[in-house]
Amino acid sequence: MREQSDSKPKKKPAAKRGPAPKPAGRRNNSGPRPSRPKPPEGSREDKPARPSRPPRDDAKPGGRPARPSRPPRDDAKPGGRPARPSRPPREDAKPAGRPARPSRPARDDAKPAGRPARPSRPARDDAKPSARPPRPPVRGTDEKARRPQKPSRGRGPSRPPEEIQLDVPQELRLSRYLSMAGVASRRAAEQLILDGKVKVNGYVVRVVGTKVNPNSDRVEADGQPVNAQGPLKVILLNKPKGCICSRKDPEGRESVYDLLGAAGQGLFSIGRLDYNSEGVLLFTNDGNLAQSLMHPSASVKRLYRIRIRGLVDPQLGRRLLEGVESEGEMLVAEEAWVDGQTKSHSWVTVVLREGKNRHLRRMFEALGYTVARLVRVQYAGLETGQLDPGQWRELGPGELKAITALAAVVHRTRAPQ
């Protein structure tokens, strides 16, 4: 047995494979590519290549052999699947969609559409024809309610400014009529009536309460006809120093009416300035306008600049606001402050709302100061502007509207007398 086993041929040991090549790391483009190691003998790569199969006769030029095509069907469409036979239409079917439902029969007491109508209530005998008034038209829907369009600029000639007429009632007291005509103030007109210098329709009138009709009665004062009808007229004068505000002076001094000339006929001043004062002074032919602006309840703003000889106390403005007593009367300023000072004089600005006789001069005299110059810079918002002392001008339409509006506000706020 041992001999037989030893006679068998021994198998050759398998060839040992070399170590597997290490995987190449990240390629470095900077140097040459390393060559691939040769495989050891007896590996799979040393086996011979398999022989290729011979091509088939029915095979396509490349790829798998083509399958034989099926013969076409007789009932098939020219392309695609065969068409299915269509179903025969139903006799009770609509042309398209579901069959129509039968409509319900209409009710005899029903409306053509909607709920049945409720019976209307009988009208009451004492009811009004209409419970609510008609609504006003909405803006933009009615031609009358539409906002008027503004005229285009630069087309056509400009309209002349409208004149403001004097508001003269149909019947009024004679003294008020004389005041409105610019003859004199109301108190001075009453004195003229008492002196017998006024005539109505040719007869002298001495009763102060006499009433006249401006449209039918003829009034004369000092032999001159009086007419209160016509447009409103207001003149601004830059009053110089050394003039009085009265028409006549027993001493023969110059009057402000001498500066106005013919333009001052029928006008009287709104307030006054003393002989040595200067600045804004207004004249008008409307007595009501003048009375409204001069009344203490009007509180019309008056702005003054005063030059005082020497230096003044820095607390002078506070003392003027607190008030100064002079001749048994308390004089108060609305606003006051020191404008500037030099070695010889000081300038002080004062605002008053009520003008009394020599108001500012009496205040400074009571405090021990001497007034060297007093100028009214503004009255009711009006200033002299470019006017030299002694020159004057008429107010324009805009200024007239502003001053009449101010007088109207004053008239409404005053208590009835």
- Catalytically active residues are 274
Task: Give which of 280, 281, 304 is closest to 385, Cα–Cα.
Answer: 280
Q: Would you say 308 and 364 are in contact if contact means Cβ atoms under 8 Å apart?
A: yes
